[in-house]
């Protein structure tokens, strides 16, 4: 699997998660592109090359896990090369930033780095309901994120699309025990038998019932976030 870091982070930030998953018998790989300063030409081209290399090396589609901005990249890879991607798992990734509005705690810094970016947010963030990834997608989020707005990080639940809520912070999602458990559960599924996540017995306190994303009006700022059945 390929694990992508968040904004301003690099492979050291995902090393603990990769180590845990490696101990469970998975091949895990960092992105090897240095610090994530946004969608520069090196990142956009490098990610495509990295995915293609791992796909060829392992001879099978690659699961892609992305933390924050890394999850936005992961969804883009799945749209562009679905034959190479087994599934996408995002950790606090605000892929609905364009749709529901609102800036994150790091938006000002992102704007300062924008002149070095090869593509803009409008290319990274197409309307997700209009152009959903063609592979299974799991969005892990927390309502106490502290960096991005949690409702920017959730799916409209549907076939092979789900949300998993955990308790914790944005910066801790890669080390969050509940998030790591959910990731392991998703990776362990047979390729052709995807099922929605179900918390283990007695773990309800770690996994609040997740929200769903529903439009409620023509006004793009008006949305309802209702508890999934």
pLDDT of residue 50: 98
pLDDT of residue 125: 82
**In 3D, which of 39, 47, 48 has the Cα closest to residue 113?**
39
pLDDT of residue 132: 73
- Cα–Cα dist 6/71, whole Å: 8
Residue 92: left if φ>0, alpha if ψ -120 to 50, beta else—which one?
A: left
CATH of the domain at 21: 3.40.50.1820
Q: How far is CA 143 from the centre of its chain?
A: 15
Domain extent at residue 150: 2-227
Domain count, the chain: 1
CB neighbourhood size of 45 (10 A): 12
The per-residue pLDDT string of the chain (229 residues; one tens digit each, 9 = 90 and over) reads 999 999 999 999 999 999 999 999 999 999 999 999 999 999 999 999 999 999 999 999 999 999 999 999 999 999 999 999 999 999 999 998 876 667 888 999 999 999 999 998 878 887 656 667 889 999 999 999 999 999 999 998 888 999 999 999 999 999 999 999 999 999 999 988 899 999 999 888 999 999 988 743 344 544 444 444 3
pLDDT of residue 129: 60
pLDDT of residue 104: 86
* Paired tokens of 125: 């963030």
H helices, E strands: number in the chain: 7, 7
């Amino acid at each position: 699997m390929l694990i992508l870091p968040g904004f301003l982070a690099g492979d050291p930030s995902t090393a603990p998660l990769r180590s845990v998953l490696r101990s469970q018998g998975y091949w895990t790989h960092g992105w090897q592109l240095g610090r994530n300063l946004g969608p520069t030409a090196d990142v956009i081209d490098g990610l495509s090359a990295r995915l293609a290399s791992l796909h060829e090396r392992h001879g099978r589609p690659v699961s892609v896990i992305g933390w924050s901005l890394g999850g936005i990249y992961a969804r883009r890879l799945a749209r562009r090369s679905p034959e190479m991607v087994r599934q996408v798992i995002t950790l606090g990734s605000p892929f609905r930033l364009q749709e529901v509005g609102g800036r994150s705690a790091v938006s000002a810094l992102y704007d300062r780095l924008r002149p070095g970016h090869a593509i803009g947010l409008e290319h990274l963030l197409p309307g997700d309901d209009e152009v959903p990834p063609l592979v299974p997608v799991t969005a892990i989020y927390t309502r106490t994120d502290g960096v991005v707005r949690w409702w920017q990080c959730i799916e409209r639940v549907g076939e092979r699309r789900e949300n998993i809520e955990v308790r914790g912070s944005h910066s801790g999602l890669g080390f969050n025990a509940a998030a790591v458990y959910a990731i392991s559960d998703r990776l362990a599924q047979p390729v052709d038998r995807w099922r929605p996540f179900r918390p283990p017995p007695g773990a309800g306190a770690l996994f609040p019932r997740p929200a769903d994303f529903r439009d409620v009006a023509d006004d793009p700022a008006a949305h309802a976030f209702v508890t999934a059945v």
